[in-house]
Structures are given as structure tokens and as C-alpha cells.
């Protein structure tokens, strides 16, 4: 198909930009404070709109087909048969508490399949609609690409259910087009993908951020490691490693790998490490690990770009147990507290802004430079923390903590996976990236974020105060909401789901309205670069009702010195005689 071939060429051209987006965390039950499993995801894209997808569980008539669309362009890729029954999905979590996130690592460009119809986004949604466990999701993904091909570049998936979290890395096998002897049609002789999936051990955490992280792994032994030819063993709880049966032999056939099978490393073979991969991608993983482990400084040089140094492990044991609220804060990381703190660099300007506008790399006088690529970024469309809890019924156990826009200034709102609908403020179709809607959470949060970008270090204390107030309130409310819903569920599951729907909807609408009020408050307080005087959120007036004179904070000494260094005495006041 000409359109698919053209799409593939476009994707190859934009892969460098795609590979600088998205950050995922994975937390096993034994590493969480309450015994839940968690994965997180940030949809970092300059064209991704922040809305909450919702698909009802459906029984499909025999012969139904599903049309698949490219996740990056919305171009139709083709159709495949629909499953007889699909599960309800909210965002990237289904009614059985199966959740999926992703980051694109690109890898070897020649392995893009220009004839395939299933891309990475389709795999995520199809797996959620067809899987009751993380292991089933892995099998669905593997079987789909084997049958229909894989239309994307290299991808890392975070896959979790209430009991386990897995990382799965996958890349296509290219387009070697030949004529089928039986049908005469031109087909891809290398259709499919190569992949590896590893369960994160209990008590450990992992992460990925646009670079393949799975290196070596134990080969098939019939116990904890199996290849795809033994999928029948996938539900054996002892199995912790699953891989495509030809993941090594294909690499050898392509000339990518010539050593013994035991020396094979998926990451090194299919996505060779570069400075960009370390500094722009692995650095974000390092920063997450560094928040919860005292043993990460030895990997800093590697994450900073010294790719000859020892690589970080795929997973680590944190020094403490983590909560969903911890992951929310880690999503707001800009390397604060390290030598690469984005708010301390000259590029932060006079208001300590830890953001840099794109492009990521830039030229000056024939030399190339770069801005840091940190976790919190302005182009996030939405992000989430998926929390799965095995001690509760599925409709109550799964909480999809969802935030729109930049994680640094979003509020993560709780949506139970069993709700019957999503509120209008985050509903699909309420505005889009080119259509403003005053009722859409995405646009309300963006208006506040842009004020933050203007006066960062002045605005953030006010913003964080409200952000913390809301997220702390939600965390405190959840146990009581759980308890009430569980009591209802025992006698009337449908009523319990309706109550959860009402709670999630009310919480989201109230959050958006509170954020709208925050935006109005910030506009008044920081109008024209001044700072209005206020106490407990109320602006102060003089005894006659007139506004008290605002403060004029001016600029920090670092800014003053920079101006003087560049202008000399041009702006110096004459000395009085």
C-alpha cells in the first residue's frame, strides 16, 4: 500500500523526535506501600491532546472487523477481525485492572515494516480489550504481530495487573517483499516482530524512557524462561521471562550479532546505545531510581552520556516502599537537587524556569548543542499512574490516576476502572489540539501552565499549594470510598459502579473548576509583573477599599550581573555631584 509506505518514510524521518518522549515507571507489589502494583506513563507529544478514552465492554456480531489507525498520524492502516467480546477500557486500564504504558525507542530504522497494519497504539488498545492478565496481554501482542505484522519502530511496554508488572520490548523485522508462490501476491517474508518480556521481581521497581533497557536474559529452560513456541506455559507462575523464538536467530541472520546465544543483549543488538540515548533517555530512568536508592551515584556518569561506563540494571530494590503519590511527584522531576538541575542553568532565565522550548538540539556558529530532556516537560498531553489492587473486586481495585497537560502543574484525579462513563471535562471530543473548549480540563490546565512558564518561581508556590491540597484530599478520601463501594458491591455491583462513577466524575469536575479559579487568582496576583498583596487567598485593600500598592520584586542579582556584563555602562545612572 502506497500510503503505508509513505507513512513509514515519514516515521523514519521523525523517529529522533519520537524517541525523546515519554517516561514510564513500574512498581511491583512488594515495592509498594500498600501491596498494589503500579505503572505510570506520560504521553509526551506536541500533538497529543489530553482526554480520557473510554470504551464499553461489547459483544460483537460474528464477522465484525476493527479498523486500526496509526497512533502518531491517525491514518487508517487496515482492518483485522474483531474479538467476539471486548472488555471495558478507561484510558489505558481495563475492567480487569490490566494496564499498559509505552515509550518509543526507535532502534534500527531498517526494521520498520511498511506493509503491516498493527502499530504500537493498536497493540495497546487491542491487548486491553482482550486480556484479563498481564501475561495474556503479552500473548495477545505477540500473536497479533506474528499474524498481521508490526507497523511501528522499537517500543517498550509497561504491562501490569493486580499481581504482576512486566516490561516488554519489541521491534519489527523490516520489509523483505517477495511473491507468494501460491497466491501470487506480494508479501513480507519477514512479517512479525522480535521481542522480550521480563517480569519485574517482587520488591523491585523498573523504568524506561525511550531507550531499550532489556539486555541479557536466561534462555529457555522450561522453568522461569520460555520462548514463544511454548506459550502454553505462559500462565505458570514460575515463568518470569518470555521471548520470541527467533529473537536471537533473526539478529544473527541480519548480521547484527555474531557471539554466542548466552551473550545476547536485546538492547545492544536492536537499539545500540548512543550519547543521545543515555543523556536524553537513560538519564530520566537514573533520576527516578536516584529518588529511591542511595546506590545510584555510581551510574551518573553513564546516564550523563559516558556510554562506555557500566549500564544501569533493568530493575532495582528501592530503599523504601512507594505510593501512587510518590510516583506523581517523580513525574515532576527536572533533575532538582543534582548538578543538572534545570532551574539553576543560565537558560532558566530570571525566573528559574526548568523548561526549554523545542527543538531539543540547536546549532550555533556551526556547532551543535542541546537542552536537557527531563521527565517533566511542557508537551505532555496527559499522564497517568495506574494503581492495581488485588484485595478488592476489579471495578473497585483499579484506580486510574489521570492528569492532563504538563505533569509539573497537573492534578492527578482518581478514576475507578469500573466506572460507567467519564465526565465531560475529560471526555473525548471536548475540544482538541486545534479547538479550544472552555469546559475541557486540558485547556483549563494549559492556561495555568502558561502563566507558570512566564513567572515560574513566583507562581509555583501558589500552584503547588492547591495541587498538594487536592491530591492529598483524594488520597485521604480513597479508603472511605473503597469501603462504601465494597459494601454496596456485595449486594448490588451495578449500584457500586454507579456510585464510583459519580465520585470520579464529581471529583474531576470540581478539580477543573478549582484550577480555573486558581488561574483567575494568579492573573490578578501577578498582573503586569507586579505582586498583589494578599492573605489566605484574599487580596488586601486599604481602609477606603482601594487596592494596596503591589510589590515590585524586580530581578535577581544573577540577571542584573548578566545585563551589566553585556551592556557595560550603557544603563548606568550618572553619579550625583
The domain locations on the chain are: 2-28+35-276, 392-529, 534-565
Helix 493-525 with 441-454: angle, nearest 10 deg: 30
* 257: number of Cβ within 10 Å: 20
Question: Average pLDDT, stretch 71-96?
Answer: 97
Is the pLDDT at 303 greater than 90? The verdict is yes
Report the mean per-residue pLDDT for the chain. 94
Question: Is 441:514 a contact under the CB 8 Å cutoff?
Answer: no
Q: What's residue 575's pLDDT? A: 87
Q: What's residue 349's pLDDT? A: 93
Give the pLDDT confidence of 512-543 residue by residue, as tens digits.
999 999 999 999 999 999 999 999 999 999 99
Q: What's residue 180's pLDDT? A: 85
Q: Which of 219-233, 251-265, 402-416, 507-521 has the lowest mean pLDDT?
A: 219-233
* 197: number of Cβ within 10 Å: 28
Is the pLDDT at 20 greater than 90? The verdict is no
Give the pLDDT confidence of 326-382 residue by residue, as tens digits.
999 999 999 999 999 999 998 999 999 999 999 999 999 999 999 999 999 999 999
Is the pLDDT at 18 greater than 50? The verdict is no
Residue 211's pLDDT band (cuts 50, 70, 90)? very high
Phi, psi of 322 (to 5 degrees): -110, 150
What does the alpha-carbon distance between residue 196 and residue 241 come to, in Å, rounded to a whole number?
7
Is the pLDDT at 487 greater than 60? The verdict is yes
* Residues 6+ away with beta carbon under 8 Å from 352: 343, 344, 456, 457
Question: Average pLDDT, stretch 92-99?
Answer: 98
Strands 24-27, 205-208: pairing kind:
antiparallel
Measured torsion, CA atoms of residues 485, 487, 492, 498, in degrees rounded to the nearest 10: -20
CA atoms lying within 13 Å on the CB side of residue 566 = 6
Share of the chain above pLDDT 70, in %: 96
Phi, psi of 528 (to 5 degrees): 65, 20
Between 559 and 36, name the one with better pLDDT: 36
Question: Average pLDDT, stretch 142-148?
Answer: 97
Q: Which of 7-21, 296-310, 418-432 has the lowest mean pLDDT?
A: 7-21
Q: What's residue 222's pLDDT? A: 78
Q: What's residue 10's pLDDT? A: 35
The count of residues in the chain is: 577
Cβ burial, residue 101 (10 Å; 0-12/13-18/19+):
buried
Question: Average pLDDT, stretch 259-265?
Answer: 97
Distance between alpha carbon 74 and the CA centroid of its chain, in Å? 19
Q: What's residue 274's pLDDT? A: 97
What does the alpha-carbon distance between residue 25 and residue 101 come to, in Å, rounded to a whole number?
9
Question: Average pLDDT, stretch 12-22?
Answer: 46
Give exposure, 421-455, as e/b (b: 16+ Cβ within 10 Å). ebbbbbbeebbeeeeeeeebbbbbbbbbbebbeeb
- Strands (E) in 238-307, as ranges, are 241-243
Question: Is 196:169 a contact under the CB 8 Å cutoff?
Answer: yes
Amino acid at each position: 500500500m502506497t500510503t503505508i509506505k509513505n507513512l513509514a518514510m515519514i516515521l523514519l524521518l521523525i523517529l529522533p523526535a519520537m524517541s525523546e518522549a515519554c517516561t514510564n515507571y513500574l512498581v511491583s507489589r512488594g515495592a509498594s506501600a500498600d501491596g498494589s502494583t503500579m505503572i505510570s506513563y506520560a504521553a509526551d507529544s506536541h500533538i497529543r491532546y489530553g482526554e480520557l478514552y473510554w470504551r464499553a465492554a461489547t459483544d460483537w456480531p460474528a464477522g465484525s472487523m476493527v479498523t486500526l489507525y496509526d497512533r502518531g498520524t491517525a491514518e487508517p492502516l487496515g482492518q483485522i477481525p474483531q474479538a467476539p467480546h471486548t472488555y471495558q477500557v478507561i484510558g489505558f486500564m481495563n475492567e480487569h485492572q490490566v494496564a499498559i504504558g509505552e515509550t518509543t525507542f526507535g532502534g534500527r530504522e531498517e526494521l520498520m515494516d511498511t506493509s503491516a497494519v498493527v502499530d504500537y497504539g493498536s497493540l495497546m488498545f487491542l491487548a486491553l480489550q482482550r486480556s484479563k492478565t498481564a501475561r495474556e496481554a503479552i500473548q495477545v501482542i505477540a500473536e497479533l504481530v506474528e499474524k498481521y505484522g508490526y507497523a511501528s519502530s522499537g517500543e517498550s511496554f509497561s504491562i501490569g495487573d493486580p499481581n504482576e508488572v512486566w516490561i516488554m520490548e519489541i521491534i519489527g523485522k523490516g520489509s523483505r517483499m517477495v511473491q507468494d508462490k501460491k497466491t501470487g501476491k506480494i508479501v513480507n517474508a519477514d512479517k512479525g516482530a522480535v521481542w522480550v518480556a521480563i517480569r519485574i521481581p517482587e520488591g523491585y521497581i523498573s523504568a524506561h524512557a525511550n531507550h531499550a533497557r532489556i539486555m541479557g536474559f536466561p534462555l529457555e529452560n522450561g522453568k522461569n524462561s520460555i520462548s514463544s513456541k511454548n506459550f502454553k506455559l505462559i500462565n505458570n507462575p514460575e515463568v518470569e521471562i518470555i521471548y520470541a523464538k527467533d529473537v536471537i536467530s533473526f539478529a544473527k541472520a541480519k548480521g547484527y550479532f555474531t557471539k554466542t546465544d548466552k551473550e545476547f543483549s536485546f538492547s545492544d543488538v536492536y537499539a545500540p546505545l548512543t550519547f543521545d540515548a543515555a543523556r536524553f533517555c537513560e538519564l530520566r530512568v537514573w533520576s527516578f531510581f536516584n529518588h529511591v536508592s542511595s546506590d545510584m551515584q555510581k551510574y551518573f556518569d553513564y546516564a550523563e552520556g559516558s556510554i562506555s561506563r557500566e549500564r544501569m540494571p533493568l530493575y532495582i530494590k528501592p530503599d523504601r516502599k512507594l505510593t501512587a503519590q510518590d510516583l506523581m511527584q517523580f513525574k515532576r522531576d527536572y533533575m532538582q537537587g543534582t548538578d543538572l538541575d534545570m532551574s539553576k542553568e543560565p537558560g532558566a532565565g530570571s525566573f528559574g524556569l526548568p523548561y526549554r522550548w523545542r527543538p531539543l538540539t540547536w546549532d550555533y556558529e556551526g556547532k551543535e548543542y542541546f537542552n536537557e530532556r527531563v521527565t517533566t516537560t511542557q508537551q505532555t498531553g496527559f499522564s497517568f499512574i495506574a494503581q492495581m489492587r488485588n484485595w478488592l473486586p476489579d471495578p473497585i481495585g483499579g484506580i486510574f490516576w489521570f492528569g492532563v497537560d504538563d505533569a509539573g502543574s497537573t492534578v492527578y484525579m482518581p478514576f475507578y476502572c469500573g466506572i460507567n462513563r467519564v465526565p465531560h471535562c475529560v471526555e473525548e471530543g471536548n475540544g482538541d489540539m486545534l479547538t479550544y473548549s472552555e469546559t475541557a480540563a486540558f485547556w483549563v490546565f494549559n492556561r495555568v501552565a502558561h502563566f507558570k512558564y512566564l513567572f515560574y518561581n513566583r507562581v509555583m508556590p501558589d500552584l503547588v499549594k492547591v495541587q498538594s491540597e487536592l491530591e492529598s484530599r483524594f488520597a485521604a478520601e480513597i479508603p472511605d470510598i473503597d469501603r462504601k463501594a465494597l459494601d454496596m458491591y456485595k449486594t448490588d455491583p451495578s449500584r457500586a459502579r454507579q456510585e464510583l462513577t459519580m465520585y470520579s466524575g464529581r471529583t474531576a469536575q470540581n478539580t477543573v473548576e478549582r484550577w480555573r479559579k486558581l488561574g483567575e487568582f494568579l492573573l490578578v496576583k501577578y498582573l503586569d509583573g507586579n505582586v498583589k498583596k494578599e492573605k489566605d487567598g484574599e487580596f488586601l485593600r486599604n481602609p477606603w477599599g482601594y487596592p494596596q500598592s503591589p510589590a515590585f520584586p524586580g530581578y535577581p542579582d544573577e540577571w542584573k550581573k548578566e545585563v551589566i556584563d553585556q551592556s557595560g555602562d550603557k544603563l548606568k545612572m550618572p553619579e550625583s555631584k
